[in-house]
Structure 1
Amino acid sequence: MAIPPLAPLPVPPLATDSEVVFNAKADATLLAEKQFVDQMNATTIPGINAASSQVAADALFAGQAADRAEAVDTNVSEQVAAAQVAAASAAASATAAESAQGSLGNLALMYAIALAS
């Protein structure tokens, strides 16, 4: 909800105004002040309250989204670390298989290649 702007107040009475002008300005100012209070109570204050409630709700949602993103980031980091360990293990197996002799070495090589895929 957009908060409506306040209606401007009339020119206030000045001590230098004539009595007739001063009284007319004073009457207009007092009437405007009453309308100002009515406008504040009817639309401006409820608008500010609604806006601040929405900001609080948005901040809560943003905090929850940040928590979820952090959990996902942690999980991804753990998965990357596990993949790096598996890759290192596969590389070590491939190295061992390449240096092994005979049919056992060929079997180990094929196993290491299968694990690396």
Structure 2
Amino acid sequence: MANPPVIPNLPPAPTRSDGPEDFTPKADAMMGALQPMVTAENALGAWMNSTASQVAADALFAGQAADRAEAVDTNVSEQVAAATAAANNAAASATAAESAQGSIGNLALIHSLTIGMMRRF
């Protein structure tokens, strides 16, 4: 972002106590400095408007980025919960399969392990 325009200082203003030899040159210098000061102030106003618009756009973008980050965090939390539930289900199935008798028990164990592995991917 560019630096703001500089508003020049005005020269010393004439006063009623100045003599004619000082008053007129001070008045001429003051009057001559007013128009460049107005131009600089207008440029500063334009710069302030432009900067404010950019700040507002940046703030909007930051808010949108924060919303997206929060959504990702929520999605990750949901995925972790689903994976934990799947692991618990697989563990329960494995326990049940281990306690079953004979070849049916072995088949159930293999099946529960396969289901548990598939849910991880």
The alignment's TM-score, normalised by the length of structure 1, stands at 0.82
Equivalent AA in structure 2 for residue 91 of structure 1? A
Q: Structure 1 25/103 Cα, relative in aligned 2: closer, same or farther at 3 Å?
A: same
Q: Note the C-alpha offset of 1:75.
A: 1.6
Q: Note the C-alpha offset of 1:57.
A: 1.1
Equivalent AA in structure 1 for residue 82 of structure 2? A
1:46 aligns with 2:26: no
Greater Cα offset, 23-32 or 49-58: 23-32
Greater Cα offset, 81-90 or 70-79: 70-79
Which 4+ runs in 1 deviate beyond 3 A?
11-19
In structure 2, the residue corresponding to 1:82 is in which secondary structure?
helix
Q: Note the C-alpha offset of 1:113.
A: 1.6
How big is the alpha-carbon RMSD for the aligned residues of Structure 1 and Structure 2? 2.0
Q: Percent identity?
A: 59
- Could you say which residue in structure 2 is the equivalent of 1:30? 31
- Give unmatched runs, 5+ long, in structure 1: none
Cα distance in 2 between the residues matched to 1:13 and 1:52: 38
Q: Note the C-alpha offset of 1:93.
A: 1.0
**Structure 1 segment 84-95 matched on structure 2, within 5 A:** 84-95=84-95
Q: Note the C-alpha offset of 1:66.
A: 1.6
Cα displacement string for residues 16-64 of structure 1 (whole angstroms, at most 9, x for unaligned residues): 75542343233323322332112211x2111111110111111111112
- Could you say which residue in structure 2 is the equivalent of 1:83? 83
Q: How many residues were matched structurally?
A: 116
Greater Cα offset, 1-10 or 70-79: 1-10
- Could you say which residue in structure 1 is the equivalent of 2:9? 8
Q: Structure 1 33/108 Cα, relative in aligned 2: closer, same or farther at 3 Å?
A: same
Equivalent AA in structure 1 for residue 102 of structure 2? G
- Give unmatched runs, 5+ long, in structure 2: none
- Could you say which residue in structure 1 is the equivalent of 2:104? 104
- Could you say which residue in structure 2 is the equivalent of 1:59? 59
Equivalent AA in structure 2 for residue 57 of structure 1? A
